Amino acid sequence: MALTVPHYVDAGRPAAAAAVAIASVISRKRGSFTRTIVVRASANFKQNKKQHEQQIRQGRSQDGRSPCPSSPLRTADEVASDFGREIALANLERLFRQQAAGGDRPPANGGSSDRPVRVAYQGSRGSYCQEATARAFPSSSACEVFPCVHMEEAFAVLEDRSADRAVVPAENSLDGPIDRNLDLLLRHPGIRILAELVLPVNHCLLSLPGAPRSSLRRIISHPQALSHCRRNLEALDLEVDEAWCAADAARFVAENRVADTAVIGSQMAAREFGLRILASNFQDHHQGGNFNRFLQLGLSASQSQGFAGGGAARKTTVAFSLEGGASDLFRAMWIFESRGVRVTRVDHRPNRAKPLRVVDRGIDGLGKATYLDYVFVLDVEGSLLDPGVEAALARLEEIAPFARVLGSYTSTCHSH
């Protein structure tokens, strides 16, 4: 979707800074993670908009173009946090710069064999997903790496061949799977899982180099990172604010020299933006640890690059539906287990093609029952070339109205 700017915005300043300011209304209860962001029109924007509306009433605009509709911006009662405002401005300016430059995506070029491998990753520069990408493709000279801020974009760049590979987060061992990426994988049948990487979480407390720790007044990060570090945050007794993206918050602190604010982010963010790591592994320590799982994706015909390092195993992921729904799931799992193929993970997603399943229970005199229907996703040990996996998949296709292999790939786990 193209971004448009009202033509009464001051062209001599960055479009976002001239157009809007963000006011933050913060719950001041110590330890609260609640923060509401509201939008406030800046003084320059209000003045330019007022002049423009006067010209509309006169039937013309400043540059002779058709009048544009009034902006849908809302006003807040007060500005409670300059920092929250500037974070939003930085994000808006980045979006406008990306539109003007055509985004960060490299142009597609028919897949020349002598060019670097183009790798997209979900998230912003400095994100944990960029860290995983660096582990997957350690030779930077042989790769052209770029971010995809929107989740759908990582799949789109594969399909239009702007990228050869994409690295996306799949699951956190404490918070569970990222359902959106599994849905996107089901909706894009030409894309396959080529590799899997499991990494231990390392939340770092980041600040400006040289800023004394005693000067810190607040800590900001993504809500998930804040929840992982809750006990350590309570011990510091500082203001805690949420940010939509921890990597963007880290970049803002670095670029604007904000000395009283620390960010919980990745080691990659510290390296990318020149921040100091006050503490590594700042997360609360849970028995068994805290791990992130990432997937490397590519088109069906692609060959797996694999993830670098660690002990690798083979896995296969298959998605399928069942006539009997969840009641038949044991049959599907037994197809694999009875052939010596271990099932390592079970998940389910809504069946978009057939959202409802109607069961006739007339024999019991109870009439018909209606249930939501699902697509089930299994991870199993072994590759498609293993006789047991091959035989199990063939049998599964006999009982499943829908079945599709999402990938057969190398799985690499780094325990520390």
Q: Are 377 and 348 in contact (CB under 8 A)?
A: yes
pTM: 0.73
Q: Are 229 and 333 in contact (CB under 8 A)?
A: no
Rounded to 5 degrees, φ, ψ at 216 are -70, 135
Instruction: Give the pLDDT confidence score for residue 140 in this predicted structure.
Output: 62
The closest alpha carbon to 220, from 199, 247, 180, belongs to 247
Q: Are 182 and 377 in contact (CB under 8 A)?
A: yes
Amino acid at 416: H
State both tokens at 47.
């003045």
> Each residue's pLDDT tens digit in the chain (416 positions)?
333 333 333 333 333 333 333 333 233 333 333 343 333 334 444 454 455 455 544 544 344 444 433 333 333 333 334 555 555 545 545 444 444 334 455 555 544 556 789 999 999 999 999 999 999 998 766 889 999 999 999 999 999 999 999 999 999 999 999 999 999 999 999 999 999 999 999 999 999 999 998 999 999 999 999 999 999 999 999 999 999 999 999 999 999 999 999 999 999 999 999 999 999 999 999 878 899 999 999 998 666 555 544 456 799 999 999 999 999 999 999 999 999 999 999 999 999 999 998 888 766 666 788 889 999 999 999 999 999 999 999 999 999 999 999 999 999 998 77
pLDDT tens for 46-85 read 454 455 455 544 544 344 444 433 333 333 333 334 555 5
Rounded to 5 degrees, φ, ψ at 156 are -65, -40
Residues 256, 86: Cα–Cα separation, whole Å: 9
Three-state DSSP at 135 gives: helix
Three-state DSSP at 395 gives: helix
The helix-helix angle for 151-159 and 179-187 (nearest 10°) equals 30
The closest alpha carbon to 255, from 271, 240, 239, 275, belongs to 275
The closest alpha carbon to 97, from 16, 190, 192, belongs to 16
